């Protein structure tokens, strides 16, 4: 995957661009970003927001080594499987995005 493909995948699966990065937000208000993708020229990093408010790099990989999983489509190589509750957080964000489209509101 390249930068554009990774960002397109994220935006299609409930991520929103916040502060310039595709991000997943908290399920309850305030909907602050808690996971973000930092897409650089040759690598992508996954960062998680710590309770103190500081971003911690969880993993990173060169775009050439990031491939979508054949069954789920989730990009492997970025360590999403190590984020506790990642699938649930992504599903919650995707649901909010779908319901916001249906009601004409904004997600979050």
Alpha helices by DSSP H, the chain: 3-12, 86-103
- 78 burial (CB, 10 Å; 0-12 / 13-18 / 19+) is buried
pLDDT score of 105: 65
Measure the CA–CA gap between 11 and 106, rounded to whole angstroms: 14
In-domain check, residue 83: yes
Q: Residue 26 belongs to what domain range?
A: 3-103
pLDDT score of 25: 93
- How many domains in the chain? 1
In-domain check, residue 108: no
pLDDT score of 106: 63
In-domain check, residue 41: yes
pLDDT score of 86: 85
Tens-digit pLDDT profile for residues 8-24: 999 998 899 999 999 99
pLDDT score of 28: 83
In-domain check, residue 40: yes
Q: Which residues of the chain have pLDDT under 50?
A: none
């Amino acid at each position: 995957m390249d930068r554009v493909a990774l960002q397109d995948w994220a935006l299609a699966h409930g991520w929103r661009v916040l502060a310039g990065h595709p991000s997943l937000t908290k399920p309850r208000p305030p909907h602050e970003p808690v996971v973000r993708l930092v897409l650089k020229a040759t690598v992508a990093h996954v960062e998680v927001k710590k309770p103190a408010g500081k971003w911690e790099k969880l993993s990173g990989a060169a775009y050439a080594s990031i491939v979508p999983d054949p069954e789920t489509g989730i990009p492997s190589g970025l360590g999403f499987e190590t984020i506790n509750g990642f699938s649930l957080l992504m599903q919650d964000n995707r649901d909010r995005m779908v319901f916001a489209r249906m009601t004409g509101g904004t997600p979050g």
